[in-house]
Structure 1
Amino acid sequence: MDAYQALLSQRALTQSMSRKGNCHDNAAMESFFGTLKSEFFYRNRFESIEALQAGIKRYIHYYNHKRIKLKLKGLSPVMYRTQPSRP
């Protein structure tokens, strides 16, 4: 879309594209942002942008270090990635 490309250019941003010129698959990030919104954003009120930013930082830490996922054998992402490999 021309208007979108112009806005990116004005802000010195590069659009994320594959070699063929297709947008990258952002399914993992879309899933995370959906979870962030439903578990954090919609359940809270924020008095300022700073309060929102601080809350997002706390939520990301919780999501990575404490929130368990059944797909990761009941571990948090960090616990899953740092467990000793099994022979």
Structure 2
Amino acid sequence: LSRHPVLKQVMDMLDQAYQKHPALNGLIFHTDQGWQYQHAAFQALLKNHGVSQSMSRKGNSLDDGLMEGF
């Protein structure tokens, strides 16, 4: 947990997911356009594990709603 968004928080979350589920190839990971999800280190960590990133369109929260309801 963090009191504010920090890159370490999302990187730790991915590391924990990869430890628990090492075979995530082909997974689609949907995010909003937060700076931490656009960070090169975050995107590289996804790519290195065969995970594709899906990102909502700028200013369109309906994208997130559709994916969250999926």
Higher relative helix content: 1
Whichever of the two has the greater Rg, that structure is: 1
Q: TM-score, normalised by structure 1?
A: 0.27
Q: Which is bigger in relative contact order (C-alpha 8 A, separation at least 6)? A: 2
